[in-house]
Amino acid sequence: MKPRVLMVTSFPIPGEYDGTAMLPIKIVRELRKIGVDVVLAHLRARPFGGTKIDSGDFEGIPSYTLPPARWIGGLKTIHDRHGFDVVHAQHYGGATRALAACLWYDWPLVYEIHSLLGDEVERDRLGRGLKFRTTAAFEKAACNHAAEVIVLGDPVGEVCRKEKEIPADRIHVIYPGIDLGEYDKAIPPFEIPGIGPEHKVVMYIGSIVHPNQGVPLLIDALPAIFEAEPMARCVLVGGPAEAGREYQQRIAPYGDRLVTITGTTPDQVVALSRRADVLVHPRLACRENFSVQSKIAVYLAAGRPIVATDFGDYRMLLGERQAGLLVDVSPPAIAEGVLKLLRDRPLAERLASNTHAVAEEYFAMSRNIHRYMNVYESAIRRGNR
């Protein structure tokens, strides 16, 4: 008998289209495909007051939003109504808010760590006050008690073993999955303003302002790329648009060679990725990036040549598997890597030819879902610590 799953988040579904929100969406979609009963619960923090539980559905999946006063009792109501066997908590927000109910009612908790709390590039700006310290204390308790912990990269697993003292046999690496079928569909080309068939397109897909993504490194590499390859153009697929305009000013007089595309649908992202001559992920070498992001799954699925900074699990996924060109974390190194792939087409094609196998092995949701099922079954069998 397949386990029944409650997926808990600290953000609404559907919400902002980003990797954090899309991961649970893709998981619950795949669970439904294999006949698993799944329910969604958004444990909101604001507004703080109120006791009303809002109910609805997401693509036919029962969905609930609970205020803080109902984080425990509301989850019990959902359990009475749907009878789930395991709680899958997304990110530290979902885990810390569901923890008390899981311990009180002895529901097995699976905590999926998206990134390490406290190690964000922006943490000093965000602050380490009372709210942060309270969240950190609850997150530590979630690590101490969760039946199983899922991480998005081996370096995070290492931190969990050595610093959080989670037993190694309760830690599971599952990279953020995607539906590879989305990349097999016939999708009309996306017309990019100012970009013609004669241009060589250097592309980045994702948030262009989050510090850990390292987009300024790519921007600072562009003048050297444009100087060496006059027909090169850069396309940023993400927002906000104002950041794109600021980047154009930053690289004057080459600003007109940089295009920012915002407000794209998933199908449009697929279409745009097919136009890339080189896909670039210039992420920083920092603990926040110990987790592998869904961006690299999108890049691999696109089947285009990839340049990425040499850090964390990319050394295995791209370097050892020869599915991408790894470079140092600096604008000159990024520029050199991009120019190498723009000019050495046999190398670019050889690297691109290996991307689908890596995507299939490590990121295909059709495979990942069985990894999740194994974790659920282990959590139910062993229970919380």
The residue ranges of every structural domain in the chain are: 5-177+364-382, 181-362
pLDDT at residue 122 in the model:
80
Write out the two tokens for 379.
């959590």
Sheet with 200-205, edge to edge strand ranges: 258-261, 232-237, 200-205, 278-281, 306-309, 325-327
Q: Which pLDDT belongs to residue 13?
A: 86
Contacts of 344 by beta carbon, 8 Å cutoff, 6+ apart: none
205 forms beta bridges with 237
Question: Which of 287, 289, 307 lies closest to 347, judged by CA?
Answer: 307
Per-residue pLDDT of the chain (385 residues; tens, 9 = 90+): 899 999 999 999 875 555 677 899 999 999 999 999 999 999 999 888 899 999 999 999 999 999 999 999 999 999 999 999 999 999 999 999 999 999 999 999 999 999 998 888 888 788 889 988 999 999 999 999 999 999 999 999 999 999 999 999 999 999 999 999 999 889 999 999 999 999 999 999 999 999 899 999 999 999 999 999 999 999 999 989 999 999 999 999 999 999 999 989 889 999 999 999 999 999 999 999 999 999 999 999 999 999 999 999 999 999 999 999 999 999 999 999 999 999 999 999 999 999 999 999 999 999 999 999 999 999 999 999 9
Q: Is 357 left (phi over 0), alpha (psi -120 to 50) or beta?
A: alpha
What pLDDT does residue 19 have?
60
Residue type, 175: Y
Architecture (CATH level 2) of domain 181-362:
3-Layer(aba) Sandwich (3.40)
- Check if the beta carbon of residue 77 is closer than 8 Å to that of residue 53: yes
pLDDT at 117: 85
User: From residue 53, how far is each of 44, 73, 75 by CA, in Å?
Assistant: 11, 10, 10
Residue 18 confidence (pLDDT): 58
Q: Hey, what CATH topology would domain 5-177+364-382 get?
A: Rossmann fold (3.40.50)
What token pair was written down for 366? 């059709």
H helix or E strand, kind and range, residue 75 = helix 73-82
Largest separation between any pair of C-alpha atoms in the chain = 65
**Dihedral sign computed on CA atoms, order 372, 378, 381, 384:** negative
**Entry field: residues in the chain:** 385
Q: Do domains 5-177+364-382 and 181-362 have the same CATH topology?
A: yes
Question: 3-class SS at 373?
Answer: helix
Please give the model's pTM, rounded to 2 decimal places: 0.94
Contact 244, 216 (CB under 8 A): no
